[in-house]
């Protein structure tokens, strides 16, 4: 055996995140072992591979036996050829569509050429059959279903057979290519694989809080529907019963998309399976736009650019037409007729697209928005607040939110998030703080005016709330509060089991089931301490999520969605707010791309998110373990971003099941796909490092701070790009280390800046504030009054940030902001109208070297309210 093998095995142990990635590595390891003609290692690896391959249809077990046979005979060349072809097919399956079952086993023994192994460019997926007796039935199913598949079908499928629900759970979690499953009555619970059983137990734990009847059912098939709904809520599921229709409990009809009764379900199964895929594939608005763009039309209304009429024959702007191409302009129309629909009054294609999005994202209703989550936030806020309401909002919220609150005339309580001075970033709002402020409002008789709470989940830096715990505790105090979760960065969450308990729509659904259950009522009725338990008779679930589809899924920029789970939804209020903020000429390309983004996630959301998690885990591990990179770079842990005082920093687990377990526990977690890397040791600051990455290596990053750079692994990331990043970090680290002498440190952390934390307001604008005895209090701000006071020239003046103002501030002078001031980063308003500018705030602003500070006039300085105005008697 060579050293090479040992290296491979080490890497196997370090980057296997889930079974899918382990499988890919095992194939590489097998090929390596065959190339080195190491029979013992080849056999051992093949054996390991066979235990995993049962969860995939291709390559079949027959191939594994053949490989073992060749190795047994010492025919390494033949084995290598066969294994190499299998691996090539597997790689192709990810890059292109192909139908493996159409490849004859014997063909795989021969060299394959490009057109030889990718003849059929159609999607091919796996259909999972959970059958108590696979040995006797697998061949029958295989033959019967393959006979039904025809060339004209849009896609093909292959079969994965298991006889128990533990294996079925592991198959579903590991093989993202499974698109539907059928349970046959009588299947078993446990597997001979310890991993499968462990997987089942972990998922049962995740499902159990829902108090669902099915989890205690006597039929494993019903239990499995609950497990599967957590892993892959989007896939269709069928049941084959041995009982007659009348004898079957109604639970089955609720739990499954379709129940079959007869002995030969093949024809029905085949049609339902394909139809299920068609339903998810169908993109009503994109289809309508596509069809519309193909129809011949004479345009006698606005929009001369439609069909490129005004540009394609222009001598001066023709290049624009050539760059974007014909279809872009054919799809430009303002029509709401002829198969199209109106976003402002959706009844046709857009309505159907909305309904499909709601199903896909687990909402009661979903709405497309064409001006980003900046607009979605304004719509949701304006739909639910009236003047003089009180709203809780995290201090580091996106600026669209304070603007929206001001438009409503509501009063805001900014909830402080923990500041991490070393890395210039903010964590999240502790639950205890929210509860404390709610209790104080209650004591002051103001709780009835608190209507809405807005939290950012996940934060820019990937910190994710324990959504369920927060909602439970808050509903226990105020059972009808509106939750507005700003999930601008979290549209992918619904598509991976990892985030199941951590995003708005799923938690709303879980809580609804829970509050209606007898088990919860018993818990509530018998509890001696109900402080954390919402009253099931009074609770009204009102939950909104706003997501920038363009940030984490495949839509054009500004594509955003509002997802609603609101038991007191007011259609009129919502649409009024929608009309206020929506253009009467919404961009159809953006709408079509939202429809497409939904289609993609409905069909490959799990696969995409699994791959990005795997790549992110790989990058994290490489940074931590690489001998050179680890000396210079470090990925911040949860403990860095939300310190809990644990002496031991908590590391992200590198195993999928362990991660699911961690994400299902209490407290904050970090989205593995967002990596904040400490770059202090490079001696560069974030801006310099960003410049180096883009200028020299063509790597674009999203956010930097003085000591950090944020890398986001999105659903488009590939192994190649991940490896490239590692290679670049290694190169930079290598250079720095060779430059340093034995006794010098390469770089050092830039001195921390004290980040502003608690906001204070001028009493004129915070008349609703509640001050409690020990000075904590609830400071409530009416930004609107201060903002509009600033529109009168006689009420304002400016203060420059310079030595003089800093010295004055040190002496105790303060000013009152007349506007919003938003530096990038951190990207949220550190000042709002009415807020007091004191020494710490001014000194923070003076340390910012960034060029982009919205609301700051370079020549004039900060806009402030004049003393004259603040002291005048005529203010209301
Ligand atoms: C938390 C948060 N909410 C909302 C937005 C606005 O989203 P959009 O750019 O889609 O308007 C952003 C943008 O960065 C954000 O970070």
Cα(489) to centroid of ligand 1, in Å? 8
Residue 116's nearest CA partner among 126, 127, 137, 102 is: 102
- 722 with 831, same domain: the answer is no
Domain end point (choices 89, 121, 153):
121
- What confidence tens digit (pLDDT) does each residue in 525-558 have? 999 998 889 999 999 999 999 999 999 999 999 9
> Residue 3: is its pLDDT beyond 60?
no
Asked if residue 581 is part of any domain, the answer here is: no
Strands of 861-865's sheet, edge to edge? 796-799, 861-865, 856-857
With a cut of 60, say whether residue 1 has pLDDT above it: no
* 311-320 tens-digit pLDDT: 999 999 999 9
Q: Could you count the other beta carbons within 10 Å of the beta carbon of residue 134?
A: 19
Same domain, 480 and 387: yes
| % of the chain with per-residue pLDDT over 90 | 67
E-assigned strand segments in 537-673: 542-547, 560-566, 634-635, 669-670
Whether 744 is covered by a domain: the verdict is no
Output the CA 551–ligand 1 centroid distance in Å.
8
Tokens coding 178: 């499974």
Residue 624 lies in a domain: yes
Query: Token pair of 73, please?
Result: 């005979």
Domain at 621, CATH number: 3.90.1150.10
Number of structural domains found in the chain = 5
Say how many Å lie between the first and final Cα of the chain, rounded.
86
Residues within a 6 A CB radius of ligand 1: 372-374, 377, 398, 400, 456, 460, 486, 488, 548, 560
SS3 206: helix
> Percentage of the chain surpassing pLDDT 70?
90
Q: 318 in a domain, yes or no?
A: no
Q: Which of 421, 435, 422, 506 is nearest to 464 (CA)?
A: 506
Q: 824, 854 in Cβ contact below 8 A? A: yes
Same domain, 129 and 116: no
Whether residue 826 has a cis bond before it, omega within 30° of 0: yes
User: How far, in Å, from the CA of 587 to the mean position of ligand 1?
Assistant: 19
The strand ranges marked E within 637-686 are: 669-670, 674-678
Give the pLDDT of residue 14.
40
Last residue of a domain, one of 86, 121, 156: 121
Domain boundary among 102, 121, 140: 121
Closest by CA to 79, choosing from 124, 57, 49, is: 49
pLDDT in tens, 640-657: 888 777 655 555 567 888
Residue 59 preceded by cis peptide, ω within 30 = yes
Local confidence band at 20 (pLDDT 50, 70, 90 cut-offs): confident
To test the pocket of ligand 1, the residue of 369, 372, 587 to mutate (highest count of ligand atoms within 8 Å of its CB) is: 372
Structure confidence at residue 746 (pLDDT) = 62
CATH number at residue 139: 3.40.50.2300
Q: Is residue 196 over pLDDT 80?
A: yes
Examine the domain organization and report whether 638 and 523 are in the same domain: no
Specify if 346 maps to a domain: no
Residue 833 sits in a domain whose CATH number is 3.90.100.10
Mean pLDDT of the 677-685 span: 92
Q: How far apart are CA 143 and CA 141, in angstroms?
A: 6
Residue 759 C-alpha to ligand 1 middle, in angstroms?
22
pLDDT at 560: 98
Q: Which residue has the tokens 């998810």?
A: 280
What's the token pair of residue 513? 């089931």
Q: What is the pLDDT of residues 67-116, one digit of tens each?
A: 999 999 999 999 999 999 888 877 776 544 444 444 455 566 655 555 54
Residue 198's pLDDT is: 92
Which residue CA neighbors atom 7 of ligand 1 most closely? 373
Closest CA to 503 of 377, 669, 352, 650: 669
pLDDT score of 61: 80
Q: Are 618 and 692 in the same domain?
A: yes
Angstrom distance (rounded) from CA 546 to CA 243 = 45
Q: Cα–Cα–Cα angle for 155, 263, 172, nearest 5°?
A: 45
Separation between Cα atoms, residue 455 and residue 433, nearest integer Å: 13
Q: What is the pLDDT of residue 217?
A: 67
What would the two tokens of residue 783 be? 């930004």
CB atoms within 10 A of CB 870: 18
The arithmetic mean of pLDDT across residues 272-287, rounded, is 96
Distance CA 790, CA 835 (A): 13
User: How far is ligand 1, taken at its centre, from the CA of residue 482, in Å?
Assistant: 20
Query: For residue 456, how far is its CA from the centre of ligand 1 (angstroms)?
Result: 10
Q: Tell me the β-bridge partners of 164.
A: 188
What is the pLDDT at residue 340? Answer: 87
Note whether 513 and 433 are same-domain residues. yes
pLDDT band at 119 (very low <50, low <70, confident <90, very high): low
Index of the ligand 1 atom closest to the CA of residue 548: 10
Q: Does the pLDDT at position 12 exceed 50?
A: no
Tokens for 81? 């050829």
Whether residues 111 and 133 share a domain: the answer is no
Residue nearest atom 10 in ligand 1 by C-alpha distance: 372
Closest CA to 290 of 339, 336, 251: 339
Q: Rounded to an integer, what distance in angstroms lies between the CA atom of residue 484 and that of residue 546?
A: 8
Would 598 be classed as within a structural domain?
no
Q: pLDDT value at position 98?
A: 46
Mutate to test the pocket of ligand 1, among 398, 403, 465, 703 (most ligand atoms within 8 A of CB): 398
Residues 541 and 392 in one domain: yes
Q: What is the band of 820 on the pLDDT scale with cuts at 50, 70, 90? A: very high
Over residues 434-444, the pLDDT tens digits come to: 999 999 999 99
For residue 694, give the 3-state DSSP assignment.
helix
Atom from ligand 1 closest to the CA of residue 560: 10
Specify whether 94 is located in the same domain as 137.
no
Nearest atom, ligand 1, residue 371 CA: 11
Q: What is residue 650's predicted lDDT score, i.e. its pLDDT?
A: 54
Alpha carbon of 455 to ligand 1 centroid (Å): 13
CA 253 to chain CA centroid, nearest Å: 31
Higher-pLDDT residue of 489, 109:
489
pLDDT score, position 212:
55
Ligand 1 atom showing the smallest separation from residue 460 Cα? 16
374 CA distance to ligand 1 middle (Å):
6
Nearest CA-CA partner of 779 in 794, 796, 801, 757 = 757
3-state SS assignment for residue 124: strand
User: Is 535 contained in some domain?
Assistant: yes
Query: Chain centroid to CA 818: how far?
Result: 36
Give me ligand 1 centre to Cα 782, in Å: 23
pLDDT for 26-70, tens place per residue?
999 999 999 999 999 999 999 999 889 999 988 878 888 889 999
468 confidence band (pLDDT: 50, 70, 90): very high
What is the CA(471)–ligand 1 centre distance, in A? 23
d(CA 144, CA 807) in angstroms, rounded, equals 85
From ligand 1's centre to the CA of 669, what distance in Å?
21
With the C-alpha atoms ordered 606, 609, 612, 618, is the resulting torsion angle positive or negative? negative
Two tokens, residue 648: 């031991």
**336 is a domain residue:** no
Say how many Å lie between the CA of residue 94 and the centre of ligand 1: 31
Mean pLDDT over residues 160-166, rounded?
Answer: 96
Which pLDDT does position 263 carry in this prediction? 74
Name the one residue in this structure whose structure tokens are 């990937």: 462
Ligand 1 atom closest to the Cα of residue 456 is 1
pLDDT at position 96? 43
Cα separation, 239 vs 259, whole angstroms:
5
Q: Are 783 and 834 in contact (CB under 8 A)?
A: yes
Mean pLDDT for all residues in the chain: 88
* 852 C-alpha to ligand 1 centroid (Å): 16
Distance from the alpha carbon of residue 246 to the mean position of ligand 1, in angstroms: 53
Within this chain, do residues 463 and 500 fall inside the same structural domain, yes or no?
yes
Range of the domain at 553: 372-567
Does residue 100 sit in the same domain as residue 143? no
Residues 101 and 157 in one domain: no
């Amino acid at each position: 055996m060579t050293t090479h093998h040992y290296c491979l095995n080490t890497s196997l142990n370090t980057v296997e995140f889930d079974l899918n990635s382990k499988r890919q590595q095992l194939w590489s390891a097998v090929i390596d072992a065959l190339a080195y003609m190491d029979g013992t290692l080849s056999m051992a690896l093949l054996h390991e591979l066979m235990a995993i391959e049962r969860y995939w249809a291709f390559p079949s077990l027959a191939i594994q036996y053949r490989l073992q046979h060749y190795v047994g005979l010492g025919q390494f060349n033949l084995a290598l050829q066969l294994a190499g072809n299998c691996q090539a097919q597997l790689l192709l399956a990810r890059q292109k569509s192909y139908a493996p079952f159409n490849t004859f086993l014997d063909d795989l023994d021969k060299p394959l050429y490009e057109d030889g192994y990718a003849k059929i460019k159609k999607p091919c997926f796996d259909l999972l059959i959970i059958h108590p007796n696979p040995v006797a039935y697998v061949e029958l199913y295989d033959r019967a279903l393959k006979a039904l598949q025809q060339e004209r079908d849009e896609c093909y499928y292959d079969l994965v057979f298991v006889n128990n629900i533990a294996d079925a759970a592991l198959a579903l979690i590991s093989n993202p290519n499974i698109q539907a499953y059928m349970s046959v009555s009588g299947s078993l619970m446990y597997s001979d694989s310890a991993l499968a059983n462990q997987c089942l137990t972990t998922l049962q734990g995740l499902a159990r809080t829902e108090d669902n009847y099915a989890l205690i059912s006597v039929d494993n098939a019903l239990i499995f529907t609950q497990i599967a709904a957590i892993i892959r809520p989007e896939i269709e599921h069928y049941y084959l019963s041995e009982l007659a229709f009348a004898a079957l409990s109604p639970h089955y009809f609720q739990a499954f998309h379709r129940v079959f009764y007869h002995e030969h379900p093949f024809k029905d199964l085949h049609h339902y399976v394909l139809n299920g895929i068609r339903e998810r594939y169908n993109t009503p608005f994109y289809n309508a736009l596509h069809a519309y763009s193909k129809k011949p039309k004479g345009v006698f209304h606005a929009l001369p650019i439609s069909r490129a009429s005004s540009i394609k024959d222009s001598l001066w702007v023709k290049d624009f037409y050539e760059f974007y191409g014909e279809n872009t302009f054919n799809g430009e129309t303002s029509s709401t007729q002829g198969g199209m629909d109106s976003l402002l009054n959706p009844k046709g294609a857009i309505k159907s697209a909305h309904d499909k999005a709601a199903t896909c994202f687990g909402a009661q209703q979903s709405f497309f928005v064409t001006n980003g989550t900046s607009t979605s936030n304004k719509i949701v806020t304006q739909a639910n607040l009236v003047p003089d309401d009180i709203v809780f909002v995290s201090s580091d919220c996106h600026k669209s939110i304070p603007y929206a609150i001001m438009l409503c005339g509501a009063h805001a309580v900014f909830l402080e998030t923990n500041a991490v001075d070393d890395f210039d970033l903010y964590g999240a709002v502790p639950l205890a703080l929210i509860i404390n402020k709610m209790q104080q409002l209650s004591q002051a008789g103001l709780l009835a005016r608190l209507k809405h709470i807005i939290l950012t989940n996940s934060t820019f830096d990937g910190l994710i709330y324990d959504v369920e715990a927060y909602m439970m505790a808050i509903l226990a105090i105020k059972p009808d509060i509106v939750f507005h979760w700003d999930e601008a960065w979290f549209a992918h969450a619904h598509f991976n089991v990892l985030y199941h308990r951590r995003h708005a729509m799923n938690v709303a659904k879980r809580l609804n089931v829970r509050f209606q259950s007898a088990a919860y009522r018993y818990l509530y009725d018998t509890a001696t301490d109900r402080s954390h338990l919402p009253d099931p008779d009074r609770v009204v679930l009102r939950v909104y999520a706003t997501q920038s589809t363009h940030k984490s899924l495949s839509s054009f920029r500004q594509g955003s969605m509002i997802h609603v789970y609101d038991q007191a939804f007011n259609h009129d209020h919502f649409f009024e707010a929608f009309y206020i903020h929506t253009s009467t000429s919404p961009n159809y390309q953006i709408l079509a791309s939202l429809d497409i983004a939904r289609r993609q996630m409905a069909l490959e959301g799990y696969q995409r998110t699994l791959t990005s998690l795997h790549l992110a885990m790989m990058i994290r591990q490489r940074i931590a373990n690489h001998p050179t990179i680890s000396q210079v770079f470090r990925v911040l842990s949860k403990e860095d971003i939300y310190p809990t005082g644990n002496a031991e920093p908590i590391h992200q687990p590198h195993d999928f099941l362990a991660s699911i377990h961690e994400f299902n526990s209490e407290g904050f977690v970090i989205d593995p796909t967002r990596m904040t890397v400490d770059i202090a040791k490079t001696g560069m600051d974030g801006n310099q490092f960003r410049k180096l990455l883009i200028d020299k290596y063509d790597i674009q990053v999203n956010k930097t701070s003085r000591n950090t750079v944020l890398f986001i692994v999105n659903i488009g990331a590939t192994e190649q790009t991940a490896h490239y990043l590692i290679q670049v970090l290694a190169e930079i680290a290598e250079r720095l280390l060779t430059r340093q002498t034995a006794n010098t440190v390469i770089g050092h952390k830039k001195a921390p800046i004290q980040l502003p934390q608690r906001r204070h307001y001028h009493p004129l604008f915070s008349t609703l504030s509640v001050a409690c005895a020990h000075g904590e209090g609830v400071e409530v701000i009416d930004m609107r009054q201060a903002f509009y006071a600033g529109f009168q020239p006689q009420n304002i003046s400016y203060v420059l940030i310079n030595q003089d103002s800093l010295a004055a501030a040190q002496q105790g002078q303060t000013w009152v902001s007349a506007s919003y001031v938003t530096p990038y980063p951190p990207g949220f308003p550190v000042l709002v109208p009415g807020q007091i500018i004191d020494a710490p705030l001014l000194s923070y602003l003076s340390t910012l070297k960034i060029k982009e500070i919205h609301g700051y006039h370079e020549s004039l300085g900060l806009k402030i309210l004049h003393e004259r105005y603040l002291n005048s008697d005529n203010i209301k």
